[in-house]
Structure 1
Amino acid sequence: MCQLLGLNCATPTDATFSFTGFCQRGGATDHHADGWGIAFFEGKGLRLFIDHESAAASPVAAFLRGYPLKSRNIIAHVRKATVGEVCLENAHPFTRELWGRHWVFAHNGDLKDYHPKLHSHFLPVGSTDSERAFCWLMQELAKSHASVPSVAELTLTLRELVPQISRLGTFNFLLSNGDALWAHCSTKLHWLIRQHPFQAATLMDEDWTVDFADINQAGDRVAVIVTTPLTRNEQWAAFAPGELKVFVDGQPVG
């Protein structure tokens, strides 16, 4: 299985602290060494970095840990391959365009023999069940709305679509269009909110403590979503199996 990391923020925020601990799970403290990736939304733009090497050893990941990029929506992934070979086109997150916006998706799980009927506009580049599921979701969202829907409307549609995939296997995922971040739990996913008054946090996978009170303002707020808690001294909440949450401006809204 893979691991997921997502940040949804009220103000542009860097993921250096969380990403540093998360990378160690890509081959150092855990066995998810079959590729990694991270996507940063910046307005309508998107910075995407993917690699088929392990995150713990990747020079690209090391560069990003030392070069903070600020964003309001960030999705990262470390892969343990189950369906599809270890190669660049199978590295998450995946991206597609819909309604003139970038969409980003990363999946943790296994959908055996999953081959949905796909139309020509949304087709997979690689060979993973994850990318096929993403293409199907994009296809069905496009079919369900004639114009750009609100976050609330998108959430309602996703609540109808997601069970059609999750009944076929394990379907933990993160999805964002730059306005919101949707997180679905099939088996395991955790979340927390960092906000004023900020506290210190210590990573589980790296010897690093940060006092967020020293680097944040009163209006800053960050929702962190991850497969397994990243820190040892913060209160993480577990998703319920089958739960879909949507985060906007660093807090859950549905």
Structure 2
Amino acid sequence: MCEIFCFNSNNPKEVNECLECFYGHSDEHPHGWGLANMQKDESMIDKEPVKASCSQHLKNILSNPVIGKNVFAHIRLATVGEIISPNCHPFIEADDNNRSWMLIHNGTIFDYPELDKYKEKEHGDTDSERILLYIIDKINDFEAKKGSVSTIKERFYILEKIIRNLSKNNKLNLMIYDGDLTYIHSNMKDSLYYLKNDEGFLVASTPLTDDKEWKPVELNKLFGLIDGNIIFESEEHENEFILTEENKKAMEDFLKSITGEIHD
């Protein structure tokens, strides 16, 4: 599958050391990389469908300080969708009230037919992009009925319901940013970790420093972060994802189809 990374803080900090460690895992996740430095006035998003360690563009970015309060990164091991730029994370789309939403995903949607209608709307052909389009539709529907922009709390509980439903029979490690909140969710054991310190919150698929305080993200809950603090925490749902032999075979068959590689 993929690996994901997030830094959330109350003040802009340099995150190059963590990013370099994170992108160092690209030998196992060679099908693309992405980086998002999300800011209120201007956001930087870069991505390429090449292995991170082979990207001169990424090397150029990391040769300068990457400083931000809300920084996200992704390295891709394709399980759905071709190895092309539109399928690299992060994905970003605007809702009807011109709020920008960003999403990165580690996982696979095996069973959620409601996403199928977005195959005609998406720029690429990944289940991850469809998740974002689905979320935006739900936000648009809510705000149209309300007649005004949603509050932070309203958006959190809209996403809680969406993710609770989406997580059944699907691996759904997600990081989402809506301009205010950073949303974090994991439903697979030992697949997402966090470190809270004076710098802020670090969240990653595997610990990125030698600090012994890294802990697993609590499963089956949605967390909402602002300025390095948990503002919202949902009730726990029951949709823990356990990878089956059938799931593994489906992903291996897909990898063979796009790379011609054989995976034991």
TM-score (norm 1): 0.83
SS at match of 2:31: coil
Of 184, 187, 195, which aligns to 1:192? 195
Q: Distance in 1 between matches of 2:114 and 2:64?
A: 39
Query: Among residues 69, 72, 90, which one is paired with 2:69 in the alignment?
Result: 72
Query: 1:135-214, aligned counterparts within 5 Å?
Result: 135-145=133-143, 146=146, 147-187=148-188, 188-195=191-198
Task: Say if 1:39 and 1:74, in contact at 8 Å, map to a contact too.
Answer: yes
Cα deviations by residue, 1:169-225 (Å, 9 ceiling, x for unpaired): 101010002322100101121111220xxxxxxxxxxxxxxxxxxxxxxxxx32111
Tell me the distance in 1 between the aligned counterparts of 2:194 and 2:60.
26
Q: Deviations over 1:224-247 (max 9, x none)?
A: 111111112240121222121111
Aligned residues of 1:52 and 1:88 also touching (Cα < 8 A): yes
- Structure 2 unaligned regions, length at least 5: 233-264
C-alpha contact 2:9 2:201 (8 A) present in aligned 1:
yes
- Alpha-carbon distance, 1:81 to partner: 0.3
CA distance in 1, matches of 2:130, 2:169: 13
Q: Matched residues in 2 for 1:156 and 1:245: separation?
A: 11
**In the alignment, what sits opposite 1:199?**
none
Q: 1:8, 1:180 within 8 Å by CA — same for their partners in 2?
A: no
- SS of residue matched to 1:116: helix
What is the aligned partner in structure 2 of residue 19 from structure 1? 19
2:102 maps to amino acid: V
1:119 CA displacement:
7.4
Q: 2:129 aligned with 1:131, yes or no?
A: yes
Q: Which structure shows the higher strand fraction?
A: 1
Cα distance in structure 2, aligned partners of 1:178 and 1:74: 12
Residue in 2 aligned with 1:4?
4
Residues 242 and 190 of structure 1, relative CA distance in 2, 3 Å threshold: same
Q: Which of 138-147 and 48-57 deviates more?
A: 138-147
User: Does 1 or 2 have the higher relative contact order (CA < 8 Å, sep 6+)?
Assistant: 1
Single out whichever of 97-106 and 143-152 deviates more from structure 2: 143-152
Distance of 1:161 and 1:223 partners within structure 2: 24
Equivalent residues in 2 for 1:231-246, closer than 5 Å: 231-246=209-224
Shift of 1:102: 1.7
Q: How many residues align?
A: 225
Root-mean-square deviation (Å): 1.8
Hey, what does 1:116 align to over in structure 2?
114
1-side partners of 2:66 and 2:152: how far apart? 25
Secondary structure at the residue paired with 2:38?
Answer: strand
Preserved CA contact (<8 Å) 2:181 2:225: yes
Normalising to structure 2: TM-score of the pair?
A: 0.80
1:224 is aligned to 2:207: no
Q: Distance in 1 between matches of 2:228 and 2:200?
A: 4
**Alignment identity in percent?**
26
SS state of the match for residue 63, structure 1?
Answer: helix
Distance 1:89 1:113, change over 3 A: farther
Question: Structure 1 segments of 4 or more deviating over 3 A?
Answer: 117-120
Which deviates further from its counterpart, 59-68 or 45-54? 59-68
Query: How far did residue 58 of structure 1 move?
Result: 0.9
